[in-house]
A and B are shown apart, each in its own frame.
Chain A
């Protein structure tokens, strides 16, 4: 780690003005940022903690929308979203280990947009809206490739609005070392149609498997995707899996997610 200053404001406004300084950076759960700092891969001059800001915390349901504030931890989501949106709560409850879940937050995860992170799949499959200090961004516009989002410099994720689906399931196949998804699929069925989002597979980060969505829109059963195949082109390849393997997993996991969503 290099030396840095640390502030922990109690309001969003204070945080934003602290962040306006050169080389200042937001820190939420620190579960991604701190390992990066420890390896001396980043050199912020000041870290602005978001975890002391009351308005950035909490889970609430209004009508058919579940809203999670930006600095809400995975552990809190796992508990408090369980009734309204069980598939999402289950996703949160399977991120990392208890200590990661006690600290890591949804805003940090979505801002980071790791190509193997869990939350991006849920946000994209749910057609969620990412709320920031300046605007609202539909998930379809928000994710823009590996570690890249629509967020501007210094823009803060203050919350995420999830439309609650009729049925949903998150099928996570873990990479044996990191226990992040090697590939994972979030399937959500709405009256308006089925959305299938895939994380851990593509070189461009989280994506929607539109062919699968179409087939499942017509017939929400595992058989609906059995005749399809996923193109390995553009899939990630590393020691944990070839592009072909990941493409294969997209289909297998989608079918399993649908089976599980159907109960």
Chain B
């Protein structure tokens, strides 16, 4: 019988009541008395030298209160990259200054170089149009290969080759990998592009700053996945506001997908303006602004090689990647293409030798940073595509080649050649589950049915792994991280027995308020409804690092478990005192403290009350009150994995691809709320289908974003997606966190793109088209062009 509450129950998402009835409270919904508005002047050219900015006319416009340019912020610090990457030659990466507002040069279309604060949004926008900027257009650095080859044209004048870092992973293994390739019986080579994506959270970014001239306190309401990280960046790096004088509140946030991890210049501008004017200052990003100012995702150009024997046993893997960083380093931008990507290049396979080279390249485009999956989708896509190609070259079954190379279930803990230790897993189990649920045996008859309709049907697989639950601080510290990646929780039992859990995690759609309450409810034996999850306000919550990298439950959830354990331990002491028993005889079960072997018992509520009304209480040895905190620094990453099968139909007349069946068999370890896990996988898979078939940011030769609205940036819709079959019954619980959980938020976005592309290649090849690869997104026109090209070549 499925449980109806607590761990393992599909408890309904409590947050949905407010979201679905319009009672959510997003940053844009918050209005403070006397608030004024800021609008930004953004570069219309991709690269240009700022000769002068004349704001005098703008300053005279009706309602205008202040005008800022980059000049006003030169004294401030730089918005930093969170990880220092060391290049192969031992040098530290190049970190150009990232100013609040562009100064000296504009470096991408959308780069903000001035800001106007006015009484109304319209007045602010009118005044922006009155700013006279003399910006001398320079050639845009766009194509990465030419950016690194030609050092006459530089995004940052002081960086001659536009290269931030040239990273080898693991450099010491390079010679051995090369040697293995020299002698390999078979080598499969594939060049591919991981397409640049725009994150598109439903809620655009927004910020509202308030400054109290009496107390000199700042409050920033902003769309953040990690309010403490925002506060730290603003305080310690950019603005120097003392941390205790700044409160960052991330209220309801409508999706982030990574793009709201980062601190952006707009946040510093509203704070500075609020301080200068003594009035609250608000900014709500337009959707068109979002397309040219939210950090983008992916954008890798890669050559991958796989060395095998004739039977398809993997001998070595080698990759070279150019990773687009955009014009400035966003906060996670240097970690994403390196440690979140290179360390995953073993996949679930026992490939003995792997070497990864990544060059981070500056271009005149919007900064690129972590986007749902962050580095792991890039790794998985390469691995699963090159394996698919290799199997075709060697004539080996696609499932077989994967299975024979899997790390076997008895090999854990398994140390990969790229620096990770997988704690547990069973990749054959998820593969078998996928075969069963996806009825791969019945594929040929489905293919015949499609064929009868004039469609080419194909099936593609992806067996993927990721590293979640970032991260062990000591490990990431060695790798260059400038912060720790633990998390924190406080469990506050109120006098009447209900509970407020304060967490460093931030929920921006995931459902933490439901899931964390399930965990605490299970542990304390009290109803979920008696537990409130508080998040998003630095003045309330302990110092945690927020939500990204599928870390919330594994890391922040563990902190909650640890704090709750402390609560139980303290309660036992109180109970022992009250029932005149030894603490070691107290058993806690179903919300009651019982003296073992007796019928003496006290409910959790009674104990909680006595902690606040300590009349019969061991005051000489125990403080009153019932509130405990815990910080948790994980011992390792967690390693969710899974097996995906995708079936597509290709219309040979138009090149249009339809995903007609999709099966995802995942291993997330233990599952707290199956319904929420399925929802996360659904969302991730659809995002993966989006990347594979629809989404891409396109620039023209001048660096103009041609996909700056939904008229041209294609998002997947419900009717593009079949009924998804998702399963998480294969469970190898994580060995190093108490819940045994691994994380599920990014899985779909990681595992899906190669499954879709492999399926299309399968369909085309079965249809007689000799096509080895098509770069994502596989739009109708691209697929048709590939088919037409293959046909011509054959003739």
Contacts and interface: CB of A to CB of B under 8 A. Distances in A.
Interface of A: 1-3, 39-40, 173, 176-178, 180, 182, 238-242, 244-245, 248-249, 252, 256
28 contacts: A1-B122, A2-B122, A2-B126, A3-B122, A39-B288, A40-B125, A173-B656, A173-B780, A176-B693, A176-B694, A177-B710, A177-B713, A177-B715, A178-B711, A178-B712, A182-B780, A238-B706, A239-B707, A240-B712, A241-B780, A241-B781, A245-B781, A245-B785, A248-B784, A248-B788, A249-B654, A252-B654, A256-B653
Contacts of A240: 712, 779, 781
A176 B779 contact: yes
Contacts of B781: 182, 240-242, 245
A26 to B, nearest CB: 23
Of the candidates B653, B710, B785, B788, the one having the most CB atoms from chain A within 10 angstroms of its own CB is: B653
A74 B748 CA distance: 37
B581 interface: no
Interface in B736-795: 779-781, 784-785, 788
A2 B128 CA distance: 13
Contacts of B694: 176-177
A2 B126 CA distance: 8
A130 B135 CA distance: 48
A102 B563 CA distance: 54
Given A176-B714, A182-B780, A239 B698 contact: yes
Interface string B685-726: 000000001100010000000110011111100000000000
**Interface size for chain B: under 10, 10 to 19, 20 to 34, or 35 or more residues?**
20 to 34
A176 B714 CA distance: 6
A176 B698 CA distance: 14
Nearest to B121: A1
Contacts of B693: 176
B784 A245 contact: yes
Interface of B: 122, 125-126, 129, 288, 653-656, 693-694, 698, 706-707, 710-715, 779-781, 784-785, 788
A3 B63 CA distance: 15
Contacts of B653: 252, 256
Contact of B714 (A177, A244, A252, A256): A177
Contacts of B288: 39
Contacts of A173: 654, 656, 780
A40 B653 CA distance: 40
Contacts of A239: 698, 706-707, 712
A180 B779 CA distance: 15
In order of increasing CB-CB distance, the 10 nearest A-B pairs are A177-B714, A176-B714, A241-B781, A178-B711, A252-B653, A245-B781, A177-B712, A239-B698, A176-B694, A177-B713
A241 B126 CA distance: 37
Given A1-B122, A173-B656, 17 more contacts: A39-B288, A40-B129, A176-B693, A177-B713, A178-B712, A180-B711, A182-B780, A239-B698, A239-B707, A239-B712, A240-B712, A240-B781, A244-B788, A245-B780, A248-B784, A248-B788, A252-B654
A238 B779 CA distance: 13
Contacts of A252: 653-654
A11 B122 CA distance: 33
Contacts of B785: 242, 244-245
Contacts of A248: 784, 788
Contacts of B788: 244, 248
B198 to A, nearest CB: 11
Contacts of A3: 122
Contacts of A242: 781, 785
A248 B653 CA distance: 9
A151 to B, nearest CB: 24
Contacts of A1: 122
Nearest to B713: A177
Contacts of B129: 40
Of the candidates B693, B694, B706, B712, the one having the most CB atoms from chain A within 10 angstroms of its own CB is: B712
Of the candidates A176, A177, A241, the one having the most CB atoms from chain B within 10 angstroms of its own CB is: A176
B671 to A, nearest CB: 34
A3 B694 CA distance: 37
A238 B129 CA distance: 30
Of the candidates B122, B654, B693, B713, the one having the most CB atoms from chain A within 10 angstroms of its own CB is: B654
A23 to B, nearest CB: 17
A180 B654 CA distance: 16
A238 B707 CA distance: 11
A147 to B, nearest CB: 15
A177 B122 contact: no
A131 to B, nearest CB: 30
Nearest to B125: A40
Given A241-B781, A252-B653, A178 B698 contact: no
B703 to A, nearest CB: 15
A244 B693 CA distance: 21
B617 to A, nearest CB: 62
A232 B780 CA distance: 17
Contacts of B784: 245, 248
A138 B792 CA distance: 43
A177 B711 contact: yes
Contacts of B655: 245
A40 B698 CA distance: 23
A75 B278 CA distance: 50
Contacts of A176: 693-694, 714, 779-780
B710 A178 contact: yes
A130 B288 CA distance: 36
A178 B706 CA distance: 13
A40 B126 CA distance: 10
A238 B700 CA distance: 11
B347 to A, nearest CB: 30
A257 to B, nearest CB: 12
A32 to B, nearest CB: 11
Contacts of A244: 785, 788
A240 B694 CA distance: 10
A182 B714 CA distance: 13
A106 B711 CA distance: 20
A233 B568 CA distance: 77
B722 to A, nearest CB: 17
A77 to B, nearest CB: 22
A239 B713 CA distance: 10
Nearest to A248: B784
Nearest to B717: A179
A250 B161 CA distance: 47
Nearest to A240: B781
Nearest to A176: B714
